[in-house]
Structure 1
């Protein structure tokens, strides 16, 4: 049990570091953070690790997106989220939560697809 917790924590940290590094490169499209997560899912599949990859990806994506929103809210004294909440007619506290959930689902799906890509190719190559 302790080894799985250490592995899961390490994977979440790796995903977070890679996503934060790629988010600082301005000329890449917004979805580029999914590529390392997809590749990490493939690596998990190749190493035959028995991990719940969707949950790991969801937690990593949620923490990054929720934390990023809170960071920029603090950095700009709440101005950006307040304006966006005003435009969307929703409470300001709902925006980081919703973006965290959306980012978590997308990241979780990318890691899940990465893990299952090799399984799909093995099934289609059976003659």
Structure 2
């Protein structure tokens, strides 16, 4: 259980720290999480990587969008007006996309080196 919280907070830190550098593309947060997934494998931690990664990414994207929408930034309202959707739905769907990308990145990093020795030749 402790390792789940460690991985969650490391994932949140990885997503948040990459968003500080505005020169990086928006999807760059996947790279540190891929590396974190590899580190989880090397350390031998048994954690549900996709679920923890999804929850970390979803929470960061939703909280970040809520902060910027309440900070007086009208971008979400403008996007909602263009596609005829409420800004709260845009916040939810951006959290869903961010969570899926984060969960898949962490899980992929875990599975790159997390292969079991299942070959019939051994």
TM-score normalized with structure 1 length: 0.86
Q: What secondary structure sits across from 1:119 in the alignment?
A: coil
1:54 aligns with 2:54: no
Spell out structure 1 runs of 4+ moving beyond 3 A. Answer: 119-124
1:23 aligns with 2:22: no
CA-based RMSD of the aligned residues comes to: 2.0
Q: Unpaired runs of 5+ in structure 1?
A: none
1:82 aligns with 2:47: no
Counterpart Cα distance in 2 of 1:123 and 1:33: 32
Matches within 5 A, 1:1-127: 4=1, 6-76=2-72, 79-120=74-115
Greater helix share, structure number = 1
Q: What secondary structure sits across from 2:110 in the alignment?
A: helix
Between the two proteins, the alignment pairs up a number of residues equal to 121
Counterpart Cα distance in 2 of 1:68 and 1:121: 38
What is the deviation of 1:119? 3.4
